[in-house]
Amino acid sequence: MKYITTIEDKEYRVEIVDEKHIRINDQLLEVDLVAVGGQPVYSLLISGKSYEAYIYPEEKEWQVLLRGQQYKAVVEDEREKRLKTAGGARAESGEFHLKAPMPGLVVSVPVEEGQSVKKGQVLVILESMKMQNELKSPRDGTVHRIRVRAGESVEQRQTLLSVT
Amino acid sequence: MKYITTIEDKEYRVEIVDEKHIRINDQLLEVDLVAVGGQPVYSLLISGKSYEAYIYPEEKEWQVLLRGQQYKAVVEDEREKRLKTAGGARAESGEFHLKAPMPGLVVSVPVEEGQSVKKGQVLVILESMKMQNELKSPRDGTVHRIRVRAGESVEQRQTLLSVT
Amino acid sequence: MFKKVLIANRGEIAVRVIRACREVGLETVAVFSEADRQALHVRLADEAYLLGPAPSRESYLRMDKILEIARKSGADAIHPGYGFLAEREEFAAACAEQGITFIGPKPSSIAAMGDKMTARETVRKAGVPVVPGTEDVGNLSDEELLAVAPKIGFPLLIKATAGGGGKGMREVRTLEEMPGLLRAARREAEAAFGDGNVYLEKLVTGARHIEFQILADAHGNVIHLGERDCSIQRRHQKLVEEAPSPIMDEELRRKMGEVAVKAAQAVDYINAGTIEFLVDKDRNFYFLEMNTRLQVEHPVTEMVTGIDIVKEQIRIARGRPLQYKQEDIRFNGAAIECRINAEDPYSNFMPSTGRIAHSLLPTGPGVRVDTGVYPGFEITPYYDPMISKLIVWGETRAQAILRMRRALEEYRIVGVRTNIPFHQTLMDSHRFMGGQYDTRFVEERFAIQEERDPALLEIAAALATLAAHRQTERAAQFVQRNERDTSNWKWVGRWERMHR
Amino acid sequence: MFKKVLIANRGEIAVRVIRACREVGLETVAVFSEADRQALHVRLADEAYLLGPAPSRESYLRMDKILEIARKSGADAIHPGYGFLAEREEFAAACAEQGITFIGPKPSSIAAMGDKMTARETVRKAGVPVVPGTEDVGNLSDEELLAVAPKIGFPLLIKATAGGGGKGMREVRTLEEMPGLLRAARREAEAAFGDGNVYLEKLVTGARHIEFQILADAHGNVIHLGERDCSIQRRHQKLVEEAPSPIMDEELRRKMGEVAVKAAQAVDYINAGTIEFLVDKDRNFYFLEMNTRLQVEHPVTEMVTGIDIVKEQIRIARGRPLQYKQEDIRFNGAAIECRINAEDPYSNFMPSTGRIAHSLLPTGPGVRVDTGVYPGFEITPYYDPMISKLIVWGETRAQAILRMRRALEEYRIVGVRTNIPFHQTLMDSHRFMGGQYDTRFVEERFAIQEERDPALLEIAAALATLAAHRQTERAAQFVQRNERDTSNWKWVGRWERMHR
């Protein structure tokens, strides 16, 4: 099985050769992956080196927590990926829904509908765990459909507003 | 629901009154039982006192590990129990199968088939975890069908011999 | 002499207090909110009672309910921990009225130190140096403050009289920007404390935050257990504390210690408390405030002195004289504490909630973890994001740093994001290793390691691919194998998960 | 100077050594058997390599494989831990031949102390008191032993020359029973060590087992770190160790310490080692044997001296001089270690195997846990039943005992039986509290608490009934709800459980 795995804009060609071997970018490596104590925590021995990681899928990505650092990986079947690329590049735009990363109280919404925003601009201030947290825009765009008001309590993953 | 629960030859009448109340031997108590973190470890608040126990069924008994001590409880529906008692006392005899409590190596079998044994007499010596462990007869009886020999490796729960 | 202690708190500090009570033979009563039924302090206490819904003001801040539970359970003492009701004069007073021992200072001492302006004045009169600022007791109007500001000199700080946690605090660089900042500070203080009064203090730049641990008994004995350096802060929240301070010497410790004792005596202090100072580049020190309670970072002092501060609090509350004199206190080696918070250091330290799926505590020589969580426990958004304190001791400061690195590397917490990577980067930073930092260090001169090690990137790619591959392979096999996993406890466990 | 250390061991001691290596900046290589793929030492090391099948002689005792892995991984030092290859002269020699630093003594020192008769003679000549017994080197026949026995006096002990762990050991009360016991001892020694030679020692009754920790560098410096009292034993296995010994005073410590140093010097000792003594009721002491390796119970010495013994082993192996002189060594407070074994104290200490379903480590002030297991880990029957060491420190012995009680109460291990109830009963026993015990105490004068508290019996009844009731209620509801629990990780976790 051959995959193309993308982490932080870097592509890796990863081939699962058999139970105990993979090939990354043409280099053959011995691997041994086990789930520790039945948890989603994996112990990986790769050519003798020992690593431990928490791996779980989240939406279209795989989240990998390795040595304290969080990595997001997109794993695609090589054939599928080739077909998709042939069919045209993925649209980078589309609507972005800002969701509450945790339950909390909306302190303020310092933007208005129709307003242009820059990447990194604060869209919502949410209070949780006795802290005020700034939720920022992941890209340039226009604010669309604000669904919450200051003073309102929100649930985790509740959509707060959209950016198009 | 009313139960008769027997621990170490002591009988307790336990009535489950509702979600938050039980009656033990006519005393009404407030209870709150939760499984901790989805484990078979239970936190019990009983009239304010906090207890923690590991509870799991094993054959016909419930095993309760509470404050470092192990208790074996037989829980019977009150009605069933009454019917059974009416039908005559349970037979105390019958065949006892000595099973290996852990995997190990049989060091010796100091008894012979047909031999009379006393309660507490050593039937098999099993080596495991670098220790020699004496497996004893739980009651008086006669040794029957020895199924293992010195030098043999046995699996956990494998029957070693019987006492009738 | 009390026999049963109610702990009016939650989390790691409730567990810490339960431990001390148990070691001196006292029974313990926990209180908990609906969100904390499975919390560790409930599991470990002898008794536990529900306070109310998750929000603090409906549970851990309900004095009336807490006192009612004390009565009902027969608790004859209350330990407030830190936060919540620990510095509420009226709570200490209400305990006394009901004949319950409050394990802490007298209500009058709490009050005297609770109002920051009053505290400044009180200790100043006792000869304790304070940061230059508005010198009189009494609340000043904006005009008065604007008039006095140039005398103090810029930059300066606007601080809330009822203060704490950086709320209602503003830095002022020029007179021109001051009116707007005054309004903002008053508004924030009003919202946070119901009191919009503010005062001014000179901004001491390049300063270190150094505090002294005090023990004072009911017989007039007051001693200090040396200092803690708490300059590693972010948004006025302490993140790392260490003892001794890298800048300390015997002479300065003696001087500051004496002043700290004097400050405590000025409010007739009893029990454990902390005098916070700013120390400037020229080693001048200024009283900042007194915390009239047990401090989060008390373990670093315990590690270097060998004294169990919570047990001492209990002794003092029982009316016993201190068992140490100042000359008995010896400092041995170095200790560092990292506060482990459920927050994402890569997303502006956003709090993180969720169930802890797996964790592995660092242990071994010289390592202590104080925590209130465990695998399977759910971190909720209602309380402080601190989930544990990792404390290490070493023969020297260098050994302590190396040990902290080792412990941080071992520590696994899975299910919520934590600030462990922040601490790892800090322990590797040359300025921290050199002991050269001030209270602005984290915000101004420190960046968390963002650069990725290419070798680890490749490992992460391999891991994600292997996991994805397994999932694909298993998806088809899953249905028919579902039946196998029905041994009883797993089944019950699963049922619990479903019905929570 | 070596840079990468292979740890030729498993379990808690492998983890302990990894920690020390990491704190001094050394890379670590773990080795593991097929039963230990998920063991903690594999998880924590930088590299890990498979040795072979589960049985020790096919894995952890395979010198050839271990040396091959050292070569392959570039490890330039080997730490043997304790047990397995730690006291195999030929292993230390093989390391040296391959240019790998053996973190331990010279092969000749191991050999000299490995043969118990030779050891006796060597130290006796150096002026170290030994238990009266057969005095000459050389193996004696049964007739010779029977002839010399009355001169030594009864009761006496038959001991195996190759000895260890109580194997080939017999107590003799009269000359008449001696021939039969000699045969039995020789048979057992032959089976255990491939060497049926035995010698005689006077049986010292009412004795304590007290040992001295030695550190010796390659430059001729030898110091001791004080004593440990290890008299709490069962079947010659240590269960509890403490420092200082309750019977020790400055004078006796000085005398025994000097003799211990002399014994180490007699075999030209380098690295950490332990001299074991018997101390009789009249405080006479006798050399018993020397353990030429790190000891299981080394942490109690670490807790009272502040010295990290494993780091010192590494320093010594690197050729550095000791950083302490004898007069630098200070003893602070008291430390106790309980060995937590997977065995059932209610069933004659039968070993217990199985998966650890849940565990909660005691933490907080003064508590250290050294362990190689974690929740989800499977305890197999192949190795030693010790799963962790619980070590506490207190300002006084009384405080340490109280803290140990607290820690034992907090410690949860679910899935295997442990000897925690044994330790709890011991900590509550008046003789232990009074420090009045000898090596026979556990076997002769101690019984584990068997009596049930009626209140707890009723709680257990309530718990069993509630659990049974829930199971009955749920059985009917289960099938249709099965589908809900399909969030992805649970699903993967479940799959893993099914396919293990």
Binned at pLDDT 50, 70 and 90, residue C488 comes out as very low
Checking if the pLDDT of B89 tops 70, the result is no
What dihedral do alpha carbons D394, D396, D402, D405 form, nearest 10°? 60
CB atoms A52 and D492 under 8 Å: no
- The secondary element (H helix, E strand) that includes residue C371 is strand C367-371
In a shared domain, residues D51 and D96: yes
Whether D108 maps to a domain, the answer reads no
Phi-psi region of C169 (alpha: psi -120 to 50; beta: other; left: phi over 0): beta
Residue D178 maps to a domain: yes
Residue D115 lies in a domain: no
Amino acid found at C66: I
Q: Determine the residue among A24, A55, A155 to mutate to test chain C binding: the one whose Cβ has the most chain C Cβ atoms within 10 Å.
A: A55
Sheet-wide strand order for A131-136: A131-136, A122-128, A104-108, A153-154
What pLDDT does residue A92 have?
47
Answer yes or no: do D187 and D285 share one domain. no
Q: Which residues of C touch D403 (CB under 8 A)?
A: 23
Chain D residue numbers with beta carbons less than 8 Å from the beta carbon of B129 are: 342-343, 351, 353, 381-385
- Measured between alpha carbons, how far is C381 from C378 in angstroms, rounded to an integer? 10
The tokens for B29 are: 């108590």
What is the structure's pLDDT at A126? 85
Of B40, B129, B130, the CB nearest to D357: B40
The set of residues, in sequence order, having a beta carbon less than 8 Å from that of D394 and lying 6+ positions away, is D333, D334, D335, D366, D400, D401, D402, D403
What percentage of chain B's residues is helix, strand, coil (to nearest 5)? 5, 55, 35
Q: Does the residue C40 lie in any domain?
A: yes
Whether D491 has its CB under 8 Å from any CB of chain B: the answer is no
Q: Whole-angstrom Cα distance, residue D344 to residue D446? A: 16
CATH 1.10.3720.10 applies to domain A92-163: no
Mean pLDDT lowest for which of A32-41, C76-85, D83-92? Answer: A32-41
Do residue D219 and residue D198 come from a single domain? no
**Annotated catalytic residue within C228, C293, C368, C417:** C293
Residue D451: inside a domain:
no
Q: Which comes out higher in pLDDT, residue D241 or B145?
A: D241
List of chains touching D (3+ CB pairs within 8 A): A, B, C
Q: How many CB atoms lie within 10 A of CB B144?
A: 15
Of all residues in chain A, the percent with pLDDT exceeding 70 is 93
Helices D107-114 and D116-125, packing angle to 10 deg: 100
Residues 6+ apart with CB under 8 A from D225: D212, D213, D214, D215, D301, D305, D307, D309, D329
| Whole-complex ipTM | 0.85
Structural domain contains residue C190: yes
Alpha carbon distance D153, D132 (integer Å): 9
C119 domain residue, yes or no: no
Selecting among D16, D293, D315, D368, the annotated active-site residue is D293
pLDDT at C476: 56
**CA–CA dist D432, D425 (Å, integer):** 10
Asked whether residue D48 falls in the same domain as residue D190, the answer is no
Determine whether C318 is exposed, middle or buried from the number of CB atoms within 10 Å of its CB (0-12, 13-18, 19+).
middle
Q: Return the number of CB contacts < 8 Å for A and D.
A: 50
What is the count of structural domains for chain C? 4
Q: Tokens representing C49?
A: 């009672």
Same domain, yes or no: C437 and C467: no
**3-state SS class at A133:** strand
Judging contacts by C-beta atoms under 8 Å, the chain D residues touching residue A65 are: none
Q: Do A69 and C342 touch (CB under 8 A)?
A: no
Lowest mean pLDDT segment, chosen from A135-139, C285-289, D215-219, D478-482? D478-482
Cβ–Cβ contact C184 with A under 8 A: no
Residue spans of the domains in chain A: they are: 2-79, 92-163
C293 is catalytic: yes
Phi/psi of residue A87, each to 5°? Answer: -75, 0
- How close B80 gets to chain D, by Cα (Å)? 14
Taking CB atoms and an 8 Å cutoff, what residues of chain C touch B56?
Answer: 488-489
Q: CATH number of the domain at D164, please.
A: 3.30.1490.20
Q: What is the CATH number of domain A2-79?
A: 3.30.700.30
Burial of B49 (C-beta count, 10 Å sphere; 0-12/13-18/19+): middle
Residues B148, B154, B155: CA angle, nearest 5 degrees: 140
| C-alpha span between C35 and C11 (Å, rounded) | 12
Contacts of C383 in chain A (CB under 8 A): 129-130
Indicate whether this model's pTM tops 0.95: no
Residue B76 backbone phi and psi in degrees, to 5: -125, 140
Higher per-residue confidence, C495 vs D478: D478
Environment class of residue A49 by beta-carbon count within 10 Å: exposed (0-12), middle (13-18) or buried (19+)?
A: middle
C236 and C380 co-located in one domain = yes
SS3 D355: strand
Averaged pLDDT score across all residues of chain C: 91
Per DSSP, the three-state class of D92 is: helix
> Is C174 touching B (CB cutoff 8 A)?
no
- Looking at C184, C202, C220, the residue that finishes a domain is C202
| More reliable by pLDDT, A103 or B13 | B13
pLDDT for position A93: 54
Given D402, D423, D445, which residue is the final one in a domain?
A: D445
In a domain, D123, yes or no: no
Indicate if the alpha-carbon torsion angle C297, C298, C299, C305 is positive or negative.
positive
Domain of residue C407 covers 208-445
Cβ-based neighbours of C64, under 8 Å, separated by 6 or more: none
Using CA atoms, how far residue A110 sits from A125, B99, C181, in Å, is 8, 71, 19
Same domain assignment for residues D182 and D326: no
Contact criterion met (CB below 8 Å) for D374 and A37: yes
Report the mean per-residue pLDDT for chain A.
86
Question: Which of C163-177, C291-305, D425-439 has the highest mean predicted lDDT (pLDDT)?
Answer: C291-305
Q: Using CB atoms within 10 A of its CB, is residue C193 exposed (0-12), middle (13-18) or buried (19+)?
A: middle
CATH of the domain at D368: 3.30.470.20
Same domain, D398 and D291: yes
Give ∠ CA C175-C176-C177 in degrees, rounded to 5: 95
Range from C168-182, C221-235, D184-198 carrying the lowest mean pLDDT: D184-198
Are residues D287 and D435 both part of a single domain? Answer: yes
Q: Which one of D187, D202, D217 terminates a domain?
A: D202
Torsion, CA B92, CA B97, CA B102, CA B106, rounded to 10 = 130
Per-residue tens of pLDDT for chain D, all 500 residues = 899 999 999 999 999 999 999 999 999 999 999 999 999 999 999 999 999 999 999 999 999 999 999 999 999 999 999 999 999 999 999 999 999 999 999 999 999 999 888 899 999 999 999 998 987 667 889 999 999 999 999 999 999 888 776 788 899 999 999 999 999 999 888 888 888 899 999 999 889 999 999 999 999 999 999 999 999 999 889 999 999 999 999 999 999 999 999 999 999 999 999 999 999 999 999 999 999 999 999 999 999 999 999 999 999 999 999 999 999 999 999 999 999 999 988 888 889 999 998 899 999 999 999 999 999 899 999 999 999 999 999 999 999 999 999 999 999 998 899 999 999 999 999 999 999 999 999 988 888 776 778 899 999 999 999 999 998 887 756 444 443 333 333 333 333 333 33
CA distance A5 to chain C (A): 6
Q: Tokens at residue A46, please?
A: 């790769």
Distance in Å, alpha carbon of C431 to nearest chain D alpha carbon: 20
C311: distance to nearest CA of chain B, Å?
23
Here the CATH number for the domain that contains residue C45 is 3.40.50.20
Average pLDDT over residues B51-60: 89
How far apart are the CA of D29 and the nearest CA of chain A, in angstroms?
9
pLDDT at D320: 97
Using alpha carbons, list the distances in angstroms from residue C464 to A5, A11, A138, B112. 8, 13, 24, 59
The answer to whether C353 contacts A129, with C-beta atoms less than 8 Å apart, is yes
Using CB atoms, pick whichever of C356, C376, C492 lies closest to residue B36. Answer: C376
At residue D167, what are phi and psi to the nearest 5 degrees?
-80, 140
| C426 interaction partners in chain A (CB closer than 8 Å) | none
Cis preceding-peptide flag for C155 (omega within 30 of 0): yes
User: Once rounded to an integer, what is the mean pLDDT over residues C473-489?
Assistant: 48
Report residue C437's pLDDT band, with 50, 70 and 90 as the boundaries.
Answer: very high
- Judged by average pLDDT, the poorest of A151-155, C219-223, D38-42 is A151-155
* C376, C228: one domain: yes
Q: Do D482 and C482 touch (CB under 8 A)?
A: yes
Structural contact between residues D306 and D332, judged by C-beta atoms closer than 8 angstroms:
yes
